[in-house]
Amino acid sequence: METRNGKATAGTVAQVKAQAETKTLDSILAELTPIVKATFPKANGRVERAVELVKAGAVLELRPINHQNGHQVFTVKGNGRWYTVDSRGGCDCKDYEFGHTCKHQLAVWLTVRIEQALDARPGGR
């Protein structure tokens, strides 16, 4: 860690915190990836693409942005546009329309479980 007069600089402290969060995210994703593959065995390469979306921060918010008819609605950025995913499993992308579990749904599934894992840590986040 870079120091100035024996004290850590703000920039390096922020960098260390960001690296720690990234390691935490990576470790949580490493634990969740086999679970999501087992839960959605027909998802093919979509799990890997969902992990990439999560790492890129493509889920707009980690909390629902809206409530409609008692369920949560999320937005996920993919292929240059935003897609809407609801907690009942629907998505407005073509992949979902063709009957597949899409990467946007999987990204929301992962994001919700990452949030739960972070909240369950001693001291929370």
Please report, in tens digits, the pLDDT of each residue of the chain (125 residues total).
333 444 444 455 555 555 556 668 888 899 999 999 999 899 879 999 999 999 988 887 545 555 656 677 888 888 788 898 887 778 999 999 999 999 999 998 898 888 888 777 666 65
Residue 69 pLDDT: 63
Q: Which residue has the tokens 């008819």?
A: 69
Q: SS3 string of 14-76?
A: HHHHHHHHHHHHHHHHHHHHHHHHHHCHHHCCHHHHHHHHHHCCCECCCCCCEEECCEEEEEE
Cβ distance 71 to 81 under 8 Å? no
Extract the tokens encoding 81.
């546009």
